[in-house]
A and B are shown apart, each in its own frame.
Chain A
Amino acid sequence: MSGDAAIITFDHVDKFYGDFHALKDISISVREGERMVVCGPSGSGKSTLIRCINGLEFHNSGVLTVDGVEVYEDSKEIYRLRQEVGMVFQQFNLFPHLTVLENLTIGPIKVRKVSPSEAEATARKYLERVRIPEQADKYPAALSGGQQQRVAIARSLCMESRIMLFDEPTSALDPEMINEVLDVMVELADTGMTMVVVTHEMGFARKVADTMVFMDGGEIVETAPPERFFTNPASARCRAFLDQILDH
């Protein structure tokens, strides 16, 4: 399923927030169709890493290429690129003043200039896919956290994105809602979508990841296929981290 062409490439990328060195010499690439799971302690730079991919943050040096386009602040292509790259946030970030259906159609209609009827058809298709077609006319506040996050996933899918980024998509959810979101993500992985997922849900990672990445202190400490990552990580820091999150 996975092609060989890299769709995301970090080449010696550094990122600073003021004086703070948030990403240190990152070099990594993601192939088309690859599922990469990123983990690491809080503050290690995971969010920063994936937010650079769609230009929510901009790196300061090195080359970051996404879908053949170099990402930098004044790039003319950045708006088009963001349409190719969907993002799901920890806090869902649905638009509270719009209904679920409007949340899904506003991007296609206003940004991609799709006709409203076509946008609605697409939206209903993806609501079906995330298993909440009956909530289309409600406002986000009327939905549970798990439902909101599934709407957020559908909103990104409606942009017909080719890459999906997830930043701890289940961390803000009550435990009983985590699986309904993960199930949707597993199905999405099965369609061959390129995914970069920041999560500590190691069961999910075992199931879908092609590559595991461990970050600490702004660096990528370990990159390995899941079999080796979970059984025999090379670095001590990674082993300590896994021990911590796996024993409960």
Chain B
Amino acid sequence: MTASDTSFVPKGRPLPQRQPLARVIDSLVFSIVLYSVIVGGIVFLAYSGAQAMGYNWQWYRIPQYFYTVTDDGFQWGEISTGLVKTLTLSATAFALAVLLGLLTALLRLSGLVVCTAVAVGFLELVRNIPLLVLLYVFYYVLGPIFGFDRYWASILCLAVFHAVLISEIFRAGINAVPKGQWEAATSIGMSKAQAYRYIILPQSVRFMLPPMTGEAVHMVKSSAIVSVIAVAELTTIGRNIISDTYMSFEIWFTIAAVYMVVTLILSIGVSFVERRYAVDT
């Protein structure tokens, strides 16, 4: 008997109705109204506050920073190029962070004293330095020594910083796979490397996807810090535009919105992937 079976007439007495007030509060419409009132209130307060300061809103000047269409044709604006830079920077740093994080997690789980010591040393070192200081170390100290520019200093700094967090995600994901899986893999003659590759890691993916998304979002956001060494990404571009135009309210609102759109798209995309994995296993 399914819910869509319209011929179904229950023999039992219907359940007592809920309180009318409780039904209203739980309804979707009520949630949307409440949400709109709160957001609208905040926007109104900000806006009227700015009016009171005599702030001169110039939203009409914002679109040109995304793209312009002139006699020369279509051209991307500064915010768009900055966004692309932010995305390539974050993506490269994230890829490196995943590799480094996996390596650290495997070293730590290897059971060999030397490897564990190396991994723990790396983790504690990075974990106890503020991100900003780490960035200065990479740019002012390691950069000149090893000969990389500000762009690569940013990427490496972000990669190292996030590798620490990602290695914990890997470690938890690997440990979440039951011990019996190791035993079964071992008992059919697999080496440790084969067991990781074919049995353990594929199963850990399911446990790791949600926190990994969180890390990817975190990466996009913390990439803003590289504006302090003037890498021309989104935040730096925002600052540059403001120093030319003094439109700080419009630009910061816009930059914040762009970050939000990117991270939201990331979260939604991954939740689709997650659902696929949930069905497969």
Contact = CB atoms under 8 A, between A and B. Distances in A.
A87 B187 contact: yes
B188 interface: yes
A87 B182 CA distance: 13
A233 interface: no
A97 to B, nearest CB: 5
A83 interface: yes
A83 B188 contact: yes
A107 B199 CA distance: 11
A147 B236 CA distance: 61
B240 interface: no
A6 B172 CA distance: 44
B276 to A, nearest CB: 13
A153 B254 CA distance: 62
Nearest to A111: B189
A138 to B, nearest CB: 12
Nearest to A141: B281
Nearest to B199: A95
B48 interface: no
Interface stretch (B32-40, B52-60, B190-198, B259-267): B190-198
B180 interface: yes
B186 A56 contact: yes
Nearest to A139: B281
B49 interface: no
A91 B180 contact: yes
Given A80-B189, A110-B190, A111-B189, 16 more contacts: A54-B187, A56-B183, A79-B189, A79-B190, A82-B186, A82-B188, A82-B189, A83-B188, A85-B187, A97-B281, A107-B189, A107-B190, A110-B198, A111-B188, A111-B194, A159-B188
Interface of B: 178, 180-181, 183-191, 194, 198-199, 202-203, 280-281
Interface of A: 54-56, 79-80, 82-83, 85-87, 89, 91, 93-97, 106-107, 110-112, 139, 141, 155-156, 159
Q: Nearest 6 CB-CB pairs, A to B?
A: A107-B188, A93-B184, A93-B180, A83-B189, A87-B187, A82-B189
